[in-house]
A and B are shown apart, each in its own frame.
Chain A
Amino acid sequence: MTIRDVTQAVPAPEGSGAGTRPAVARTRGLRKVYRSAVAVDGVDLEVPQGAVVGMLGPNGSGKTTTIRMLLGLVRPTEGEVELFGQPMPESAESTLPHVGALVEGPGFHPFLSGRDNLLRFAAAEPLLPSNKIGTAVADALELVGLSSAANRRYKGYSLGMKQRLGLAAALLVPRKLVVLDEPTNGLDPAGTREIRRIMAELHARGTTVLVSSHLLSEVEATCTHVIVLSKGTVVAQGELGELLEAGNPTLEVITPDAAQAVDALRANRIPARLAPDGVLVDLVASPAPQVIETLVQAGVSVHEARRKRTGLEDLFARLTESHEDEAPVDLELNEVEQAGVAS
């Protein structure tokens, strides 16, 4: 898989007007009730085109159920799902051929070889011409590094190899959207890096990627956008950087004159508090340069000042543990998108 002329690899999406990029996938008021258990409730999410969207959430938070409804595998109890602007699951035949998915682990028959399993699914791919099935399967095996094990029975595959084969099935055909549900399950660190590399390459080609994971570092490393689910509802979604910023905009100033600094800042109506090595300054009201200027003018010796970014882990913990008491952090994706385009 080499990247050649990435700009050409991204054809203009249909119906994309000037300005806003359409969402590849969108849900409104999605709700799924199994018997009496509510799996997903009131989920409104958007997967912007070209983004790598990480779907985060603790086990049982509704990630997989949401993905299954997106793909038309499960009919929602309430709410709407749109893929490429078309309603699901009614439009499965026009949308799903463009979607590659690895959902709930790989599903293959143990008595067939990896290649034969893939050939079987390749036969069902609507966009794959019959004379290209062989090459498509070989290419997909090559991509996930299974060429040498292609003729071995699936039964004998390791967990990581099974996962790779599932990924190969998702990438049999050029896709507009790739949905990966916990893709790194069972993979060793090298395998995880491979998945990241593949996701990065998909991103570079303009393929939209939706990946669910409970591994935060993975999402932080590869995603442009994040959707956080907890107890079946979306507690935050938006561009990754924005979410982290929105979490806690704080400037940490290292100074020996902490008490003097706090006084000076408070005199200028800038909220600040003492920290072990200096002061923590709330940046909601005033930008960082103004804070530092204030401090310097007050004669405080500033040794170091850095933007304290909330790690994804902190954000995640905050969102998923106490979201019931807080208003959800909800960024307008369109604004974020435009900001992204402009930059």
Chain B
Amino acid sequence: MTATTWEDAPAVTTRRHRAPLARLLSSELRWIFRRPRTLVVLALLAIFPVIIGISVQLGTDGQPETSGDAPLFVSAITNALALPLGSLMMLLGLFLPLAVAMAGADAIAGEQSVGALRGWLLAPVVRGRLLGVKVFGVAVVAVVSAGLVALTGLVTGLIINGTDGLFTLSGTELSLVDALGRIGLAVAWVALQLLAVGAVALAISTTTEHPMLVVAMVLGGLIVSQVLGLFDALSWLHPFLLPDPWVSALPDLLRDPIAYDTLGEGALRAVSYLVIALSLAYARIVTRDG
């Protein structure tokens, strides 16, 4: 508060002022990625594919190669194509959604719980814009989480098997570029699914100031959805469950040619969840008391 700046204070007019969007977004990202628990979760996500790769490799290393299938099987899991995709598939069950649920919970409920949401509203960042900034932050977490898993899976696979043995489930062998393209597609698809989960987390986040509650509800809902998906008697319900295609979609990327049916349906469901959840979040945040 130097004298000069206070003397230069502009007069109040009806002109609307907004902080530059890029500044808000970069500030949000700095906040997300400086949070210790975000970093811990990301580190665990990054390590997971390495652990799978090493343990599969160690588990089969000392065994005599009596069966001719074994080396192919092992390389199929630890190769630079299957390991990233397999890791994404396994982590998509719970751990990846946890990462975005936490991000969505912190984004609004977490800010509210320490009283920082008021700071944004008083600046002011209008509520719709604030939600946009928060969605961006969650989206970045979704992309970074999925990308990180794929990246360390890819690197681990390359270290263990090199560029050899990029087999598909159909038995054909792919070039590295082709494999990378499929991994990229998997990352994009998983990120979209995660963003849908994150949007649900944001919607719940706008209704509470307890971030733990948001995480618990999102993960609880996810588990319930996955359990409901197991029962054939509830097949009428399955098209409405977000995680329903998760298990079957990613292996389709390992086929030659890629089967896009389940992937496409999964993407459609994610977009539906995204639109509905963000609409609810918007409706709530504009009426919420700050």
Q: How far is the CB of A73 from chain B (nearest CB, A)?
A: 4
Does B12 have its Cβ within 8 Å of any Cβ on chain A? yes
Whether A108 pairs with B11 at a CB distance below 8 angstroms is: no
Stretch in B88-96, B113-121, B165-173, B252-260 touching the partner? B113-121
Does the CB pair A98–B18 fall under 8 Å?
A: no
Once the chains bind, are B35 and A97 in contact (CB under 8 Å)? no
Q: Is the CB–CB distance between A11 and B19 below 8 Å?
A: no
Given contacts A3-B3, A11-B9, A107-B116, contact A112 B34 (CB under 8 A): yes
Contacts of B14 in A (CB 8 A): 86, 91, 94
Asked if A325 is an interface residue, CB under 8 A from chain B, the answer is no
Residues of chain A within 8 A (CB-CB) of B290 are: 68, 72-74
User: Is B124's CB under 8 angstroms from A93's CB?
Assistant: yes
- Does residue B69 face the partner (Cβ distance < 8 Å to A)? no
Known contacts A103-B118, A108-B114, A174-B9; A96 and B123 CB within 8 A of each other: yes
Least CB separation from A98: chain B residue: B12
B180 on the interface (CB 8 Å rule)?
no
- A124 and B122 alpha carbons, distance in the complex (Å): 9
Residues of B within 8 A of A169 (CB): 119
Given the complex, which residues of A lie within 8 Å of B115, measured CB to CB?
A: 104-108
Overall SS of chain B's interface:
loop
Residues of B within 8 A of A127 (CB): 10, 17
Residue total for B at the interface (Cβ-Cβ under 8 A): 44
Of B35, B119, B120, which one neighbours A111 at CB under 8 angstroms?
B35
- Scoring A86, A109, A112, A143 by chain B CB atoms within 10 A of each residue's CB, the highest score goes to A109
Are B9 and A176 interface neighbours, CB within 8 A? Answer: yes
Give the distance to chain B from A189, nearest Cβ to Cβ, in Å: 23
Question: What 0/1 pattern do residues 112 to 127 of A give for CB contact below 8 A with B?
Answer: 1000100111011111
Interface of A is mostly: loop
Among A107, A111, A121, A136: residue with most chain B CB under 10 A: A107
Query: How many A-B residue pairs lie within 8 Å, measured between CB atoms?
Result: 141
Interface flags for A159-198 (1: CB within 8 Å of B; 0: not) read 0000000000101011110000000000000000000000
Known: A3-B3, A111-B36. A13 touches B289 (CB 8 A): no
The residue from A68, A101, A139 contacting B1, defined by CB atoms under 8 A apart:
A139
A148 contacts partner chain B, Cβ-Cβ < 8 Å: no
Within 8 A of B (CB), among A73-93: 73-75, 84, 86, 91-93
Contact flags B53-71 to A (C-beta < 8 A → 1, else 0): 0000000000000000000
Residues of A within 8 A of B (CB): 1-5, 8-9, 11, 13-14, 68, 71-75, 84, 86, 91-99, 101, 103-112, 116, 119-121, 123-128, 130, 132, 136, 139-140, 143, 169, 171, 173-176, 205, 207
List 6 A-B pairs, minimum CB-CB distance, nearest first: A107-B115, A174-B9, A126-B17, A73-B290, A123-B27, A93-B16
Q: Can you list 25 pairs linking A and B with CB atoms under 8 Å apart?
A: A3-B3, A9-B6, A14-B12, A68-B290, A73-B118, A75-B287, A84-B12, A93-B17, A93-B18, A93-B124, A94-B12, A96-B124, A98-B10, A104-B115, A107-B114, A110-B114, A111-B36, A119-B27, A123-B24, A124-B119, A126-B124, A127-B10, A132-B5, A174-B5, A174-B8
